[in-house]
């Protein structure tokens, strides 16, 4: 996936809004932390004023004031928490669609489906962190000096003790991060690999079970799962150890404050109330540090997710607002395209060029792995081009908005995939503005209207995930209807008759003829020669190159002559080689 030079506009807007909101929350947190000194002042006044004066009125007045301040602090605390929850929801609302779109685009650039799903979950990770206690700890942490100043006013040595304890706790947090970073990264990779194996096993369970390698598949999953568990245990052990040390250290600090305070009280440098006030203030000062340590794993996960989203959402830079181009109506030009398979990096197409005009149909033929399906993916924009261009009416397909251009494209991939929904929803591509006439027209053109009517609920029949309730032939014909929905200008059909019977092939040929009469350009990838009856142009692919292109009769006639010449040469060569071997044996 191409690397962005600038941050995605969507993510930039979200970050700017978060920054402004967090500044306001930081100010609110300052007020909350000032009010949190209420407990210390209350203890100070109770021990040093109310008890010494033995005044009930003073006690009541101090207690009433403390209750009022506590209530005000509680209201602000609740408000801050609610604001953070709503912030998390708004971030999810803004980022989730964009992240989902990026996740859907990732396989084009060689990422696995599991990695794409993980990127979609990054928004969940960020949302959970914002709505949790992590941001509260980070907002409270900068106000720690406030408590240190208060303690310093009671006695400087107590403030130095609290400051030293805070520094040690911060160092423990840093050590935790350094110690677990490598294991945490490896753990996440193992988790992704585990998820990938699980997904593959579930998708291929029929083959796995029937062909007898269920045990080996489970063992393969178990091996990576054990590796993941070992890394998780190692990470948890390190984090738990430092967390335990931090907890013990905090208890020691609390006792040290009380003990040292008692020492200075005995020497007459502190009052009894100051001991309790210093203890309460020190606990409050160290609480954010403790909370940061406890929430550090979530903070690191959210930071990692934000970084990944920042890098990957660069894909959206190309989807900014565009000038709306007129619908293509005349030509398709494939101009010297070179394509490398995503992820593998192997060049599968090299300098492929051809041009078609409205009403023409091209049949691409050739041996397996010659690049036919790669041409289909490149024309549709499913695979990025390393070089060259695909142009509709002279404009590169990248100049169109993807959703706008999608209505002018029809694509039937080699591996048919339908979505969980009704037949009508699949045919109309889940268009919320359902056009019943267009749905029926596409089904009729594809020759599946009568088949659909025979189903229990007709067009409202739910087909389940990936069309599991339908046969392979039915799925292929429904996918053809989906490709023809709305009479698109460019229709690309990859092995459209691989699962069709004679009736289905006849319907396919008729559908190609209808689309040609409507002015569409049709590109058909074919192994069976029967589908070529409906095309007027033929191209021959060999080794990732287009070796022949032109009118069907001319190209096929030349191809037959070449084949016959090759066979005659082969037969002659074989005869000569036989005679030579016989001569060698005789000698």
What's the Rg (C-alpha) of the chain?
36
Q: Which fold has domain 9-319?
A: ABC transporter transmembrane region fold (1.20.1560)
Write down the pTM of the prediction.
0.69
User: Which helix (H) or strand (E) element contains residue 471?
Assistant: none
pLDDT tens for the chain, 587 residues: list them: 444 446 777 788 888 888 889 999 999 999 999 999 998 888 888 888 888 888 888 889 999 999 999 999 999 999 999 999 999 999 888 888 878 877 777 777 766 666 777 777 888 889 899 998 889 988 998 998 999 999 999 899 999 998 888 888 888 877 877 777 777 778 878 887 887 788 778 777 777 777 778 888 888 888 888 888 888 888 888 777 877 887 788 888 888 888 988 898 888 888 888 888 888 888 888 888 878 877 877 888 888 888 888 877 765 554 455 677 888 999 999 999 999 888 777 899 999 999 999 999 999 998 888 889 999 999 988 888 889 999 999 999 888 877 788 889 999 988 888 888 889 999 998 888 878 899 999 999 888 999 999 988 899 988 877 676 788 888 888 999 999 998 999 999 998 887 777 777 888 888 999 999 999 999 999 876 777 888 999 999 999 999 999 998 888 887 655 555 543 343 344 434 434 443 444 34
- DSSP-derived 3-state class of residue 422: strand
- Please report, to the nearest 10 degrees, the dihedral formed by the alpha carbons of residues 111, 310, 288, 65 taken in order: -130
Rounded Cα gap, residues 342 and 466, in angstroms:
24
CA distances in angstroms from 219 to 209, 226, 304, 568, listed in the order given: 14, 10, 31, 54
Report the pLDDT value the prediction gives residue 357, as an integer from 0 to 100: 94
CB 409 within 8 A of CB 483: no
pLDDT of residue 569: 41
CA–CA distance, 506 with 2 (Å, rounded to integer): 44
What pLDDT is stored for residue 571 in this prediction? Answer: 38
Relative orientation angle of helices 472-484 and 502-517, to the nearest 10 degrees:
0
Rounded distance, CA 542 to CA 524, Å? Answer: 16
Task: Quote the CA–CA distance of 118 and 120 in Å, as a whole number.
Answer: 5
Residue 315: Cβ within 10 Å count: 21
Cβ neighbours of 239 (radius 10 Å): 20
- Report the distance separating Cα 90 and Cα 96, nearest Å: 10
| C-alpha–C-alpha distance, residues 554 and 209, integer Å | 49
What CA–CA distance (Å, rounded) separates 279 from 259? 10
Residue with tokens 């070796």, as numbered in its chain = 547
- Every domain of the chain and the residues it spans: 9-319
Which whole-number Å values give the CA distances from 277 to 68, 182, 249, 282, 522, in the listed order?
A: 19, 42, 20, 8, 83
Please report the sign of the dihedral spanned by the C-alpha atoms of residue 397, residue 402, residue 407, residue 410: positive
Q: Residue 46 has which token pair? A: 């109770």
Residue 431: per-residue pLDDT: 87
Q: b or e along 145-177 (b: 16 or more beta carbons within 10 Å of the residue's beta carbon)? A: ebbbebbbebbeebbebbbebbebbeebbeebb
Q: Are 390 and 371 in contact (CB under 8 A)?
A: no
Quote the Cα angle for 448-452-458, to 5°: 155
């Amino acid at each position: 996936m191409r690397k962005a030079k600038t941050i995605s506009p969507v993510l930039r807007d979200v970050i700017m809004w978060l920054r402004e909101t967090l500044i306001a929350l930081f100010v609110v947190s300052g007020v909350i932390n000032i009010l949190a000194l209420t407990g210390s002042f209350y203890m100070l006044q109770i021990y040093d004023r109310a008890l010494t004066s033995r005044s009930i009125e003073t006690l009541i007045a101090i207690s009433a004031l403390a209750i009022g301040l506590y209530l005000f602090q509680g209201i602000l605390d609740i408000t801050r928490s609610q604001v953070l929850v709503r912030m998390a929801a708004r971030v999810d609302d803004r980022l989730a669609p964009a992240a989902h779109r990026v996740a859907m685009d990732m396989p084009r650039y060689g990422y696995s489906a599991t990695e794409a799903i993980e990127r979609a979950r990054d928004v969940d990770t960020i949302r959970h962190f914002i709505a949790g206690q992590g941001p509260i700890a980070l907002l409270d942490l900068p106000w720690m000096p406030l408590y240190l100043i208060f303690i310093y006013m009671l006695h400087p040595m107590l403030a130095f003790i609290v400051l030293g304890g805070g520094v040690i706790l911060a160092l423990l947090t840093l050590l935790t991060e350094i110690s677990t970073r490598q294991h945490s990264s490896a753990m996440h990779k193992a988790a992704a690999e585990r998820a990938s194996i699980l997904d593959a096993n579930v998708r291929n369970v029929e083959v796995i079970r029937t062909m007898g390698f269920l045990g080996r598949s489970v063992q393969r999953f178990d091996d990576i799962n054990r590796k993941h568990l070992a890394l998780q245990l190692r990470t948890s052990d390190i984090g738990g150890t430092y967390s335990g040390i931090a907890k013990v250290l905090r208890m020691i600090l609390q006792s040290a404050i009380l003990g040292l305070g008692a020492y200075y009280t005995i020497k007459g440098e502190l009052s009894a109330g100051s001991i309790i006030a210093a203890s309460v203030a020190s606990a409050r000062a160290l609480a954010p540090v403790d909370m940061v340590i406890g929430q550090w794993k979530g903070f690191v996960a959210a930071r990692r997710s934000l970084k990944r989203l920042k890098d990957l959402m660069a894909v959206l830079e190309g989807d900014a607002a565009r000038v709306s181009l007129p619908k293509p109506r005349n030509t398709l030009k494939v101009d010297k395209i070179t394509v490398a398979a995503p992820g593998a990096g192997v060049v599968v197409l090299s300098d492929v060029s051809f041009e078609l005009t409205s009403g023409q149909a091209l049949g691409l033929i050739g041996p397996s792995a010659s690049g036919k399906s790669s041409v289909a993916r490149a024309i549709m924009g499913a695979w990025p081009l390393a070089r060259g261009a695909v142009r509709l009416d002279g404009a590169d397909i990248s100049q169109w908005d993807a959703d706008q251009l999608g209505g002018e494209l029809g694509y039937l991939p080699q591996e048919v995939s339908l979505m969980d929904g009704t037949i009508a929803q699949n045919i109309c591509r889940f268009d919320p503005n359902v056009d019943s006439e267009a749905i029926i027209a596409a089904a009729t053109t594809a020759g599946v209207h009568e088949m659909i009517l025979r189903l229990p609920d007709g067009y409202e029949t739910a087909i389940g995930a990936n069309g599991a309730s339908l046969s392979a032939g039915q799925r292929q014909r429904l996918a053809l209807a989906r490709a023809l929905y709305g009479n698109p200008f460019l229709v690309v059909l990859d092995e459209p008759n691989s699962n069709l019977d004679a009736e289905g092939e006849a319907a396919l040929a008729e559908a190609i003829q209808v689309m040609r009469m409507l002015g569409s350009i049709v590109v058909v990838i074919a192994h069976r020669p029967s589908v070529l009856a409906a095309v007027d142009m033929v191209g021959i692919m060999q080794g990732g190159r287009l070796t022949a292109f032109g009118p069907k009769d001319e190209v096929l006639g030349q191809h037959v002559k070449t084949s016959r010449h090759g066979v005659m040469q082969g037969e002659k060569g074989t005869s000569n080689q036989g005679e030579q071997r016989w001569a060698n044996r005789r000698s």
